Amino acid sequence: MADEREHNAGAAVPRRGWLDERLNLAPLLRRLLEEPIPGGASWIYIFGSVTLFFFVNQALTGMFLALYYAPAPESAYASVRFIQESVALGSFVRGLHHWGASAMMVAIGLHILQTYLYGAYKPPREPMWTIGVVLLFLTLAFGFTGYLLPWDQRAYWATQVGVNMIGTVPVVGETLARVVRGGDVMGALTLSRFFAVHVLFLPAAIVLGIALHLFILRRVGPAGPFDEERARARREPFYPRQVFMDAVAILVVFLAVVGLASSLPSPLADPADPSASSFVPKPEWYFLFFYQLLKYVPGRWESLATVGFPVVVIVFLFALPFLGKRGRRPAQRPVAIGAGLLFLTAVFFLIAESIRQDRLLAAGDQRAERGKAIYQQLGCVGCHRIHGMGGAVGPDLSYVGDARDRDWLIRHFRDPQAVVPGSVMPRINAPDEDLDALTAYLLTLKK
């Protein structure tokens, strides 16, 4: 009987795995999975895990891309094109990296927003919020440094604009810009520095930041809902419901990124040409609001937008946990909630306005291309010279866009002698849409 009891007692002890016997992992797993969540599991808490997943996605896909990438101006573009067109699954992996970057930006933005709305930055979670803000800016730095690496026209000129903005910082701006470029102009050292920062310095900093963020979370615990009575009334462990919600969210978003990577290849423009100063730069969508804001700022106030606005936002985010002593409910934080809504409204408006203007510009470019073809068809090149090409019978049109406006050009096409007495140019009898396209082309001819 005694032997039977001893046998049953021994059978009740769960068998430990080989690794668990040596590393004693069970207490660690219990600590990670049994962390109590005030108020219970919720879909609103998924964004932290989604952000972490996409950081891992960026690291893994970036490692495979680095196997073929050559960080030098004469070979960077060719290596990216080789990845895109010749490497097995290269286009797909680059697509995962490209769209994964956007997904990570959205996820960390929503994570910060959820924390902000729930007041989870209040004591005792000030250090966790501070580390989270640092991670946000490190993620933006990831996007900025990675954008240059393809070394195409979009990457080169958008980065040039970004570096020039750094140069507007009072007193130390020029020095900072020179450090970022690695000299007075963007070149081999610029690309090498951006590559090193992107694949070495920033990943190390983010891994350290994530470790600190999770350590602080485990020490102070999750904040839970802003309704403190509800938070105290119910507590639920992280496993299994929250783990399930996080896993479902990660799977859904990852499948969306896989779909985008499969159907929409990562963009790659023409190779970078430092002499093509007429190229219109366009940053990634997460910098569009700032890019659009600068269009509304006069030149003499440029440093106010490029330096003053970011400094105000950064100082506000870091100081936020120490402002106000009231509770976490939105009604108890009218200034913080109002400032957040105002900021989001401005950001979305600026992004939408930038997209609208880009579409108008694209439509104008199409008209200009058609106008260039009409210019050739009408034989204008026989009488007019553009940048040294063409005849010298009529005026040189190389910079006519600086000297004439649309109305003048249209009137001149329809009746040259009435606009310029003695002109030998014949009337252009063409439909209005052709004259409009021809005018659009001539207006692009500027210094």
Distance of alpha carbon 372 from alpha carbon 370, whole angstroms:
5
Angle at alpha carbon of residue 252, lines to 249 and 253, rounded to 5°? 85
pLDDT, greater one: 254 or 432: 254
Distance of alpha carbon 221 from alpha carbon 124, whole angstroms:
10
Which tens digits make up the pLDDT trace of 327-374?
A: 889 989 999 999 999 999 999 999 999 888 888 776 767 787 888 888
Q: How long a stretch of residues is the chain?
A: 447
Residue 404 maps to which CATH number? 1.10.760.10
> Is position 189 within any domain?
yes
Residue 136 maps to which CATH number? 1.20.810.10
Helix (H) or strand (E) holding 161: helix 153-166
pLDDT at residue 148, as a whole number: 95
Which tens digits make up the pLDDT trace of 210-247?
A: 999 999 998 999 999 988 788 888 889 999 999 999 99
Distance of alpha carbon 209 from alpha carbon 128, whole angstroms:
10
* Residues 267 and 411 reside in one and the same domain: no
* Residues 101 and 239 reside in one and the same domain: yes
Strand blocks (E) in 323-445: 385-386, 389-390
Which residue, 218, 195, 217, 199, is CA-closest to 207? 199
Which residue, 136, 139, 177, is CA-closest to 160? 177
Indicate the residue among 277, 306, 332 that finishes a domain.
Answer: 332
> Is position 363 within any domain?
no
pLDDT band of residue 440 (cuts 50, 70, 90) is confident
Which tens digits make up the pLDDT trace of 235-289?
A: 899 999 999 999 999 999 999 999 999 999 899 989 998 877 667 778 889 999 9
% pLDDT > 90, the chain: 53
On the question of pLDDT at 64 being above 70, the answer is: yes
Residue range of the domain that includes 276 = 32-332
* Residues 327 and 403 reside in one and the same domain: no
3-state secondary structure of 14: coil
pLDDT band of residue 3 (cuts 50, 70, 90) is low
> Is position 12 within any domain?
no
Q: Would you state the structure tokens that stand for residue 90, as one six-digit string? A: 């290269």
237 forms beta bridges with 36
> Is position 7 within any domain?
no
On the question of pLDDT at 192 being above 90, the answer is: yes
Average pLDDT (303-312) is 87
* Residues 311 and 407 reside in one and the same domain: no
Distance of alpha carbon 378 from alpha carbon 390, whole angstroms:
13
Which residue, 144, 149, 50, 59, is CA-closest to 104? 50
Cα 307 to chain centroid, rounded: 19
The verdict on whether omega for the bond into residue 124 sits within 30 degrees of 0, i.e. cis, is yes
> Is position 230 within any domain?
yes
Which of 160-174, 188-202, 355-369, 432-446 shows the highest mean pLDDT?
188-202
Q: Pinpoint the alpha helices (H) of 68-125.
A: 76-85, 90-117
pLDDT at residue 278, as a whole number: 64
* Residues 382 and 246 reside in one and the same domain: no
Phi-psi region of 267 (alpha: psi -120 to 50; beta: other; left: phi over 0): beta
The count of domains in the chain is 2
* Residues 425 and 311 reside in one and the same domain: no
> First-to-last CA distance in the chain?
102
> Is position 93 within any domain?
yes
pLDDT at residue 13, as a whole number: 46
On the question of pLDDT at 53 being above 90, the answer is: yes
pLDDT at residue 9, as a whole number: 47
**Bridge pairing between strands 389-390 and 385-386:** antiparallel
pLDDT averaged over the chain?
Answer: 89
Distance of alpha carbon 115 from alpha carbon 24, whole angstroms:
34
Which residue, 436, 431, 367, 428, is CA-closest to 394? 428
* Residues 240 and 178 reside in one and the same domain: yes
Helix (H) or strand (E) holding 37: strand 36-38
pLDDT, greater one: 31 or 322: 322
Residue that the structure tokens 């034989």 belong to = 379
pLDDT band of residue 33 (cuts 50, 70, 90) is confident
Residue that the structure tokens 């609001």 belong to = 289
Residue that the structure tokens 């409204």 belong to = 345
